[in-house]
Amino acid sequence: MSLDQLYQQIILDHSKARHGSGLAAMEAPDGTSTGQSHQLNPVCGDEVTLRLAVRDGKVAQVAWDGAGCSISMASASVLTDLAEGMTVAELHKVIDSFREVLRSRGKVQADPELLGDAAAFEGVARYAARVKCAMISWVAAEDALNQAA
């Protein structure tokens, strides 16, 4: 299996089995501060509401609800898996790296050590119309993180 095929499979798997999906089920653990952000891409209709809880400088929980294309939903799912347990500073670094890769139009390669499964979205950078799809949940996470921290 080539790297491109593996990355495509990761995106397909996450778009079908959406990790972290379900805001109604999220009850912030005691001792946490929370942030929530709703983001909408009016061009294509992707929509995400993401909530996260921070305790002692670490992301304790992430949950989201959304509707949109497979790229936007898979990206939110991957973000959820990646973010939980990270420090606030680590998550900011990962968000910045993800943004840099996606805005590079294919010139910046994703670091799988830093981005984990989010590196699968590297190919999206070559399609300007899809960058916002992949970024929408990450923008929501950044906003919610700033509220909670």
Inform me whether the pLDDT recorded for 3 exceeds 60.
no
Inform me whether the pLDDT recorded for 2 exceeds 60.
no
CB neighbourhood size of 105 (10 A): 11
Q: Look at residue 6 in the predicted model and tell me its pLDDT.
A: 53
Residue for token pair 């950078």? 125
Query: pTM of whole model > 0.85?
Result: yes
Distance CA(123)–CA(59), nearest Å, equals 28
* pLDDT, tens only, 72-128: 999 999 999 999 999 999 999 999 999 999 999 989 999 999 999 999 999 888 888
Q: CATH number of 3-148: 3.90.1010.10, 3.20.10.10, 3.30.2020.30, 3.90.1150.10?
A: 3.90.1010.10
Q: Look at residue 7 in the predicted model and tell me its pLDDT.
A: 58
Q: What are the angstrom distances between the C-alpha of 48 and each of 51, 87, 104?
A: 10, 23, 23
* pLDDT, tens only, 37-74: 999 998 889 999 999 999 999 999 999 999 999 999 99
